Structure 1
Amino acid sequence: MMRPVALAILVLLAGVQMAQAGPWLREQGKGFLAGSGNVTQAKDTSGSIYLEYGLRDNITIGADLFYGIDRTLQQSGSGILFARFPLSAADATHKWAWHLGIGARSQNTVIAPAVEAGLSWGRGIKVGERYGWAVVDSSINVPGSTLETRIKLDGTIGLGFNDHLKGMMQVFLTHQEGALFSKVAPSLLIQPGKGKYTIQIGAEIPTNGDGDTELKIGLWRDF
């Protein structure tokens, strides 16, 4: 009985990790949309949609949605509407921002309201002649009902190889139900044409806790 529940939790944790968070706010009237799907060899599947929109230059609003179902038909879901605010100057080298969100989480037939708060740091980096970025995101998600508080700390390093290809490595740490889950997630980001779209091809590999390696395919778009 515990393995199906653990798998469902892991599917939930995996699906929400790649929300493109960070301390950079969107310009007013500009937005970003990302969709992705994950699957394991045992056919655990999940999907997520992430949206950001610059309401004002100092307020970014968005939505972070997820649904997953594992090989035993255990289901998990999450939906958060959030607002992000800057804590640093627009031209600062080290960017800081915080966010506050409300929404709901689900586990099979249990649906509970949830609140979330988080802090993000990021900066641009240079390795040789290549430019990239580094980000650390933290959040706490507190649901009602019998679902457990979730604490996350995620790190991302990305580096551009050329105008159309980037590499990204992420580390995901999640504490829930008294246990620590961790994953590493390498990805390639491919920008064909004029770069309005980005194709993500990657994997999420558990390093602590149960679960299987997942193949991840995603599509990002700026608008």
Structure 2
Amino acid sequence: MLTLCFALWAGMAHAGAWPREEGTSFLSLGGNVALFDGATRPVHYDPTLYLEHGITPRLTFGIDGYAADAGTAGSLFAWIRLPWRPELEGDVWAVSTGLGVTLLPDGDHEATGRLGLHWGRGLGNGWLALDAQGQLGVTRLSHQAKIEGTWGRELAPRWTGLIQAQAGYGLSGDIYAKTGGSLVWQASETLDLRLGLTRALTGDRGGGLTLESWWRF
């Protein structure tokens, strides 16, 4: 079950509580390939990049980036993640910190720091996870934050279902929320494919069809 959590939660946007096994890597590439109901904010094509590597049994290094809101928002970060409160049985906790660059609404870029708190719990045939992050610019003090929840469940051999919800506030101070469901197919020992639907609960309330590839090596 922990292997399932490592593989699948790593593919959810930006970090998770479980450490990456030492010497192994995970790469996720994807985004929305079709939009519905005039989707622009907070759901758009939203291409994402996520890479993590296990440096030691406790230390995970990663890089992630995304673009959103029709290309008017985005970021690229390098980060590290460490376990926290490992003495608690049944729950997995971790903290992360990163440094990167954020695209501001006026088109400028700002160096930005990021802190995260991550929680997960393995279930009999799935898992629950929460991932909270806050960002602060180092020059103009731009800031944003978000929290994302995931419930994953093994449906059949090589098939897993995901339900996700995300809420936060952006650089303009706007509150946003969106939710989605996905199916993940294990195409091989090293490759999973995720197909899902995302629906905005705020803004224009549009939706998107998501396609992602997850590689383990």
TM-score range, shorter chain: 0.7 to 0.9
Partner in structure 1 of residue 190 of structure 2: 196
Partner in structure 2 of residue 121 of structure 1: 119
Give 1:166-205 correspondences, 5 Å limit.
166-176=160-170, 177-193=172-188, 195-205=189-199
- Secondary structure at the aligned position of 1:99 is classed as strand
Residue type of the partner of 1:159?
Answer: R
- The structure-2 alpha-carbon separation of the partners of 1:202 and 1:90, relative to structure 1 and needing over 3 Å to count, comes to farther
Q: Are residue 25 (structure 1) and residue 19 (structure 2) matched?
A: yes
Deviation string, structure 1 residues 83-109 (Cα, Å, up to 9, x no partner): 000013389310000000000011363
Partner in structure 1 of residue 49 of structure 2: 49
1:145 CA drift (Å): 5.2
1:68 CA drift (Å): 4.1
- Secondary structure at the aligned position of 2:85 is classed as coil
Deviation string, structure 1 residues 68-125 (Cα, Å, up to 9, x no partner): 462xxx5332101000000133893100000000000113631111110010010111
User: Given the two structures, how large is their TM-score scaled by the length of structure 2?
Assistant: 0.84
Instruction: Quote the Cα distance in structure 1 between the aligned partners of 2:46 and 2:204.
Output: 16
Q: Is contact 2:119–2:130 with CA below 8 Å preserved after alignment?
A: yes
Larger strand percent: 1
- Secondary structure at the aligned position of 1:214 is classed as strand
Give the count of matched residue pairs: 199
- The structure-2 alpha-carbon separation of the partners of 1:76 and 1:179, relative to structure 1 and needing over 3 Å to count, comes to closer
Give 1:40-79 correspondences, 5 Å limit.
40-41=35-36, 42=38, 44-68=44-68, 70=70, 74-79=71-76
Deviation string, structure 1 residues 138-157 (Cα, Å, up to 9, x no partner): 01011245574111111000
Give 1:107-186 correspondences, 5 Å limit.
107=104, 109-126=107-124, 131-144=125-138, 148-176=142-170, 177-186=172-181
Q: Are residue 104 (structure 1) and residue 101 (structure 2) matched?
A: yes
Could you say what the CA RMSD is over the residues aligned between the two structures, in angstroms? Answer: 2.2
Residue type of the partner of 2:16?
Answer: G
Instruction: Quote the Cα distance in structure 1 between the aligned partners of 2:69 and 2:179.
Output: 21
Q: Are residue 82 (structure 1) and residue 79 (structure 2) matched?
A: yes
1:180 CA drift (Å): 1.8
Deviation string, structure 1 residues 4-55 (Cα, Å, up to 9, x no partner): xxxxxxxxxxxxx942521100111011110112142448423111011001
User: Given the two structures, how large is their TM-score scaled by the length of structure 1?
Assistant: 0.81
Higher relative contact order (CA closer than 8 Å, sequence separation 6+): 2
Overall identity of the aligned pairs, in %:
27
Instruction: Quote the Cα distance in structure 1 between the aligned partners of 2:204 and 2:140.
Output: 22
